[in-house]
Structure 1
Amino acid sequence: MKKIDLAVLLSLGALWGGSFLFMRLGAGAFGALPLAGLRAIGAALCFLPLLASRPRLAEWRRHWKPIAVVGLTNSALPFALFTFATHSLTAGTASIIDGMTPMFAALIGWLWLGQRLDAWRGAGLLAGFAGVLWLAEGSLGLGPAAGLALLACIAATVLYGYAVHYTRLRLDGVTPLVVTVGSHMVAALALLPTTLLAWPERSPPLQAWLAAAGLAVLCTALAYVLFFWVLARVGAVRIMVIPYLIPAFGVLWGVLLLGEPVSLRMLGGCAVILLGTALTTGLIRPRRASPRLAVEEA
């Protein structure tokens, strides 16, 4: 892997991990729905010029219905759920739950599509859920709001996992850029009414506006452009390192910029969840040397 590719992968982990920092900074001033709406609307405006060509517009018109489903399940609803969650949870905790996306994708693939789930992947699922329960036990002491916030994070992650399979089933062969731009346009339209209805009475401070801009421009528009660029260079296998970087950067930004505490329970839960995700995705798998391989290596 070239240095530029590694730098982009690290940047994506930093950007998507930073989204929880920006949500934490802006959610209190804007509220969950307005901030989620600003994120989707701002990203859609940044993406709009990328769709301004006849072939892409024609592709969008042919596939707008499944793209709309992706817009709701991969953008609009998760944006709102995670923003709601950051009212009560730290940025680090929310980012750790987000790291479970590949695990939920594997579980949904097994339940919905009958995809193979061997013993190691099953063990990874159990480990990941054990890590969530570990975090949940510590969050319950913060009150009922923290419990609801944790459920919101899990629901958002489940939606991400569903969207992965739905996109492959219904939008295979469609230009990824068209899916990304079109789905964020749908998310922007879906969240526009609630953004206006729930708009705060007091004008949010500059810090909250900067957080909203960071979510829309950096963590969504720029991040997706970088994602598709590096995906074409390194492939789908190596791109799987990103879900492991997001919690690391989410916790890091929370500690450095928000002064969030890091407990042994939080680090332990994060480690167990990442271990479960690694097992579920096949990143960690015991190697069995076959007799033939042993002869060849000798």
Structure 2
Amino acid sequence: MKNTMNAAAETPVDTAAPAARDWRTTVELTILGAIWGGSFLFMRVAAKDFGPFPLVATRLAFGSVILLPLLWRARQTIRPSHLWKMLALGALSAAIPFTLFAWGAERAPAGIGAIANSMTVLFAALVAFVGFGEKIGVRKAIALVAGFVGVVILASGRTAGENVAPAALAGAAASFCYGLAGNLIKRFLSDIAPTAVAAGCLLGATILTAPLAALTWPEAAIPAKSWVAVVALGVLSTGLAYAFYFRLIQRIGAPRAATSTYLVPLFGVGWAWMFLGEALTPTMALAGAIILGSVIFSQKSKG
């Protein structure tokens, strides 16, 4: 849910940073993975009470408020032509995938979405190859095949007798949206600050989902725990996490910052087990190992 804007950030990295800072970077990457892994826990708690569109619109509203100062700071670099691009890419990078994950969270354990989210890196490579003619290489081709096998295994599983295929496929579709959005952002919004891109896309997604949320807002009162979950989802896992992520990009570069996403399924499953009692099934473990392993394999250098 978090690699969508990596490629837009070609920010100079402080290569002169002392080795003593490496431990801090490791800690920050782990914290970011934990926060994003927590987003699937929060969605699982709140989805049934809010419903997909109200949940997503509320999440986006809180996240946008956190990031609006970054958009305002970059206002002089934003032209009218950027606005419709942010609106369209806000749909692909946030509104649609967030809704798919929220829909899945109503129907399956949090770990299903967290594991499916790992496919983002592989989908980004596939879109770049098919849509933009970028070389994919043997290593990434093998990783793609393995990743898709992992999704099939994930979709074939059952938890507590329930079929999780719809949620797994929704998560895979959301990850495809992230991969597509990352490629489009790289090509159409690379001339403005990546933090402004994140803020603008979230704001655009908020505008798109607000009418749908109003039409489908639940009639029953929403419990306090679900409100707490959705506020945490918006403020912590969306607004602050994106700001934190782009701060890392500016310091250590996009490829290294993206490694935080490798931790998302581990924390997603761990938080769900710890707080919701959702067990890791053998099918989830196997699928997660294959998908995560394929992503890590695809990122290793040939040398």
Q: Which residue of 2 aligns with 1:122?
A: 141
* Structure 2 counterpart of 1:99: 118
Structure 1 residue 19 displacement after superposition: 0.3
The answer as to whether partners of 1:60 and 1:178 remain within 8 angstroms in 2 is no
Q: Percent identity?
A: 34
Q: 1:243-279 deviations in whole A, cap 9, x for unaligned?
A: 2111111011011111001122211110100111122
Match of 1:290 in 2: none
Structure of higher CA gyration radius: 1
Query: Could you tell me how far 1:141 is from its partner in structure 2?
Result: 8.8
Q: How does 1:257-296 map to 2 (within 5 A)?
A: 257-280=275-298, 282-283=299-300, 285=302, 287=303
Task: Report Cα offsets for 1:183-240 as digits up to 9, x if no partner.
Answer: 1111111111111111111111100000110110000000011001111111122113
1:113 aligns with 2:132: yes
Q: Unmatched 5+ residue regions in structure 2?
A: 1-20
Q: TM-score, normalised by structure 1?
A: 0.90
Q: SS at 2:219's partner residue?
A: coil
How many residues get paired? 283
Q: How does 1:55-74 map to 2 (within 5 A)?
A: 55-56=74-75, 59=78, 61-74=80-93
Moved runs in structure 1, 4+ residues, more than 4 A? 140-144
8 A contact 2:101–2:171 mirrored in 1: yes
- Residue 143 of structure 1: how far off its partner (Å): 5.1
Amino acid at match of 1:157: S
1:26–1:209: 8 Å Cα contact kept in structure 2?
yes
* TM, length-normalised to structure 2: 0.89
Query: Cα RMSD (Å) of the superposition?
Result: 1.7
Q: Distance in 2 between matches of 1:150 and 1:115?
A: 28
Equivalent residue for 1:206?
224
Q: 1:26 aligns with which of 46, 55, 73?
A: 46
Structure 1 residues 161 and 65, CA gap change in structure 2 (3 angstroms)? same
Q: Which amino acid is 1:269 matched to? A: A
Distance 2:76 2:226 in 1: 34
Gaps of 5+ in 1: 288-298
**Match for residue 51 of structure 1?**
71
1:37 aligns with 2:37: no
1:133 and 2:162 matched: no
- Give yes or no for contact 2:155–2:169 (8 Å, CA) kept in 1: no
Give the equivalent residue in structure 1 for 2:264: 246
